[in-house]
Structure 1
Amino acid sequence: MSVAAFPQEALNWLGRLPAGWQVKPLKHVVRVNPEALSDSTDPDWRMTYADISSVSLGQGIVDTEEFSFEDAPSRARRLVRPGDTLVSTVRTYLRAITVVREPPENLVASTGFAVLRPSSTIDANFLGYFATSDAFVNAVVAQSVGVSYPATNASDIVRLPIAFPRIEQQQKIATFLDRKTAEIDTLIARKRRLRDRLAEKRTALITRAVTKGLDPDAPMKDSGIEWLGEIPAHWRASRVKFFAAVGNGSTPSRENADYWVGGDYPWLNSGVVNKGSATEADQFVTELALRECHLPIIDPPAILLGITGQGKTRGMTTKLEIQATINQHLVFVKPDERVIDIDYLYAIFERAYLYLRSESDGGGSTKGAITCSQVENLCVPLPPVTEQREIALALQESQAKLHGVSRKIGKAIERLEEYRSALITNAVTGQIKVA
């Protein structure tokens, strides 16, 4: 198909192509979702299932589950073969996209993927790189519909154009990108390991400070607290409920506009624990919602704790610095500041992260949850308040240095990832010459 057959806006993202390259709709050079499991599939047939969360950019399929057809999720339908490329049709900007080179036996992908199987005119690895390029991903995102979970469908994806040279040149481009991206990925991995070591050092500093204090020569005693071990002899231990109010919130019905429209009272969800402090909100509820939906009014300073989910959010904490209310996936801890310093308490909960997660994994539930009772009954070490403030200040100073180094490493990783993306896009659209 000639370039002139496409509207100009459909070609802008491909840029100026080298002589000899062709432009065709994807559907002319790939088969989309070529194989699917039917409802008549043997119930005992075993599969290896890949969901959208199983795919990581640059790493491919990193996590799968084994199922019989009978027990598999209803979306486990797309059969995958070597050389297929998976493209997530939901929130494609997250780049759950990969070429499948050596799939496990009976690999089945979620219906949330478009499975692209290349024809003989397209090299499988070239197609995989093209699908991860900024140019292609941005084109898919531009045609997606929805706000929270923008989505498209496979038939729309394969209407998009693909530019490609002869098959031998495609293979050279793919080989070049294999080599260059492996080099970049190695550098990124090293920097991530370095950042992980800084995080471990930060955790060790917190552990030392809240369990041993600042005086290395202080006499010690057994705390009687499972997750703490020994503490300085002049410290005491107390359950959270004896020096703080603990509670959680709710989500007012979205169907009742009177709870939301015109609201000016900050309402926070569990995403807030990904920040060091909560200083603003992006959602607000009305006075009516506060009255009718059992929403607590929390005055700062307080600690907010994520209490649900299998991801890292459960057990994470942040400091509340504005008056606000919260949803049911958060717990607030409002301390008596005559007994415990807020910054010291924040450090305590950071130290208790793994303990609270392990305690809330019990009971056989597939979704772990920390309860208000577990938070209330958490036993913590209590130095004198003046010593708590000294510990908190020392931690802030040492962590500021680590944070500065970690931030620089993060910026370096971002630049490498940007370079990787630009390299792929430029190579698969012919903007750089590959011998």
Structure 2
Amino acid sequence: MRTEKKYSNSNWKRLKIAWLFEDISSGTTPSSTNEEYYRDGEIPWVNTGDLTDGKLFSVSKKISRKAIADYPTLKVHSKNSLIVALYGATIGKLAITQFDVTTNQACCVLNKPKNVDINFVFYWFLANREGIIQRAVGGGQKNISQGIIRSLRMDVPNAPLQNKIISFLDQKTSEIDALITDKEKLIRLLEEKRQAIITEAVTKGLDPDVKMKDSGVEWIGEIPEHWKMRKAKYIFKQINEKNYPEEKLLSVLKGKGLLLRSELEFKAVMAFKGLENFKLVREGDFVIHLRSFQSGFEMSSLQGIVSPAYTVFRASIELDNNYFKYVFYSQYFIDYIGSTTQSLRDGKPIAYDDFSSSYLMFPPEKEQKEISDYLASLCKEMDKAKELIQKQLLKLKEYRQALIYEAVTGKIDVQEMLKETEQEEVSSS
């Protein structure tokens, strides 16, 4: 991770991380079978899921002083320690503690810095995260060991320059983070608006002046007077066609329907699983993922096979599949199924029977098509808007990362940039 600086002087020294901290260590996980270690816990116990890439103000778990006494590897680290995630899905995540903590074995703690500001080290780790992760070793689960962290070398400026870089980055990242928050809020608002429009259209139709009637179903409320209500079992039938090895393996993604999985995944499944229980799905079929109902019901856009973890169902009467796709995408319907399904309440996978007894509104087929065409056009425009905001969001995050990297490696002279900022503030006042 050697870098070239735009300006060079004796204010910078290249030092090993091991030389910059009195204490670099990890923790452990006290036995979960001993309630004394967790009951009435008072010492914050950090897991990698607690790390926020910022200041750490809270943790999900605490342990007792008995756990500290019984496990020598559990140290209590003072406030303003830097924590780095060593492995797993959160590998490379960071946090600066705002209180005394101990950690599990997946965290590395850098404590008691010598001649370096912990905030500068934090920004340096953020800037070099990808390069550090590339040094990870191991098979299935890559691991950044304490040894790797200790061996890292970083360019460290003198204390006054460290303070200027920290001040510069605190200010600039705060400004960028505010813009990022605004963009993320816009995306959430778009998604909420999309859900609201879908729900309104599939339950009320497109004519604002149509005469309404009570549907008799709480989650639906009123529906147009000429619409019918039918139980799902009279509209859809469960499909259990099996053993079609010539078909391609499909996978469900939230809001994306059933998609073709990679050839590599398909070969892996064929190698380790028998296909006799896999189910055939035809274009237009719907599926429920039995063990993860977060994405609701999805419609297949192609033919293939799915694992036994899916329930497959198909229209048994003439209807517009896309209309019911939007019905099942609506948050109201997902919430309704989630709250009324006994299987889910019992912690079991959802079954077709859970769905079949639910009531669905059934507009005339022509009106179903009109609603689905309207929603397809509107959702397409909203997706374009969302995609544009996501691109802006990505650029902001890339700019933030680049700015941090250039500042902590000396590629930009933050002293000059701070002077320019101060002059601009003076001239504008």
TM superposition score category, shorter chain reference: 0.7 to 0.9
Q: Deviations over 1:308-336 (max 9, x none)?
A: 35xxx613443312222223554433223
Q: Contact 1:188 / 1:413 at 8 angstroms: preserved in 2?
A: yes
1:247 to 1:154, Cα distance in 2 relative to 1, 3 A: farther
- 1:8 paired residue number: none
Render the CA deviation track for 1:341-373: whole Å, top value 9, x for unaligned. Answer: 2211111111122333344698776x6854433
Q: Secondary structure at the match of 1:158?
A: helix
CA RMSD of the aligned region, Å? 3.5
Map Cα deviations across residues 289-317 of structure 1 (whole Å, 9 max, x no partner). 5653x2111111123344435xxx61344
Q: Is the 8 A contact 1:195 1:406 kept in 2?
A: yes
Change (3 A) 1:92 1:298: closer
Is 1:131 aligned to 2:125, yes or no?
A: yes
1:116 aligns with 2:96: no
Give the drift of 1:268.
Answer: 3.7
1:49-87 per-position Cα deviation (integer Å, ceiling 9, x unaligned): 433222233x55476324444899x9x956443211121
Amino acid at match of 2:50: S
Query: Which shows bigger deviation, 277-286 or 174-183?
Result: 277-286
Match of 2:354 among 368, 374, 398: 374
Asked if residue 233 in structure 1 is aligned to residue 230 in structure 2, the reply is no
Length-normalised TM-score, structure 1: 0.80
Which whole-Å CA distance do the structure 2 matches of 1:27 and 1:89 have between them? 16
Q: CA deviation at 1:35?
A: 6.5
Verify: 1:29 aligned to 2:20, yes or no: yes
Report matched runs for 1:226-375 at 5 Å: 226-246=218-238, 265-269=247-251, 272-282=252-262, 283-284=265-266, 285-286=269-270, 291-292=275-276, 294-309=277-292, 314-336=294-316, 338-351=317-330, 352-359=333-340, 369-375=349-355
Cα deviations across residues 192-238 of structure 1 (Å, max 9, x unaligned)? 11121111111111011011001112221221222211111211222
Listed one character per residue, the Cα deviations across residues 78-115 of structure 1 (whole Å, up to 9, x for unaligned) are: 64432111211125776522222x23xx5333322211
Mapped to 1, the partners of 2:399 and 2:342 lie a distance apart of 40
Task: Work out whether residues 246 and 375 of structure 1, in 8 Å CA contact, stay in contact via their aligned partners in 2.
Answer: no
Gaps of 5+ in 2: 416-429
CA contact (8 A) 1:273 1:305 kept: no
Deviation at 1:146, TM superposition (A): 5.1
2:9 to 19, 29, 48: 19
Instruction: Give the % identical residues.
Output: 24
Deviation at 1:422, TM superposition (A): 0.5
Residue in 1 that maps onto 2:95: 98
Show the counterpart of 2:174: 182
Larger proportion of helix: 2
The 1:205/1:182 distance shift into structure 2, 3 A limit, reads same
Q: Which amino acid aligns with 1:343?
A: N
CA deviation string 1:163-208 (max 9, x = no partner)? 2111221121111111110000001111111121111111111011
- How many pairs were matched up? 398
State whether residues 23 and 162 of structure 1, in contact with CA within 8 Å, keep that contact through their aligned partners in structure 2: yes
Q: Residues 364 and 385 (structure 1 numbering): CA distance in 2 closer, same or farther, change over 3 Å? A: closer
The secondary structure found in structure 1 opposite 2:377 is helix
TM-score, normalised via structure 2 length: 0.81
Q: Gapped runs of 5+ residues in structure 1?
A: 1-10, 253-258
Q: Which position in structure 2 is the counterpart of 1:65? A: 60
- Distance verdict in 2 for CA 1:427–1:246, change over 3 Å: farther
The answer (yes or no) to whether the contact 1:60–1:98 under 8 Å persists in 2 is yes
| Structure 2 residue aligned with 1:51 | 47
The residue type equivalent to 1:209 in the other structure is A
Does the 8 Å CA contact 1:55/1:98 hold for their aligned counterparts? yes
In 1, distance between residues paired with 2:203 and 2:177?
38
What displacement does 1:38 show?
A: 7.3
How far apart, CA to CA, are the structure 1 residues paired with 2:67 and 2:342? Answer: 24
Q: Give 3-state SS (helix, strand or coil) of 2:286's partner.
A: strand
State the partner residue of 1:434: 414
SS of aligned partner of 1:116: strand
Q: Could you tell me whether the CA contact under 8 Å between 2:81 and 2:118 is conserved in 1? A: yes
1:215 aligns with 2:207: yes
Letter paired with 1:128: F
Match of 1:5 in 2: none
Does the CA contact (< 8 Å) of 2:198 and 2:375 recur in 1?
Answer: yes
Does structure 1 residue 164 correspond to structure 2 residue 156?
yes
Task: Confirm or deny: 8 A CA contact 1:360 1:368 kept in the other structure.
Answer: no
- Aligned pair in 2 of structure 1 residues 427, 343: CA closer, same or farther (>3 Å)? same
Which residue in the other structure is 2:389 paired with?
409
The one-letter code matched in structure 2 to 1:356 is: I
User: Does the Cα contact within 8 Å between 2:250 and 2:304 map onto a contact in 1?
Assistant: yes
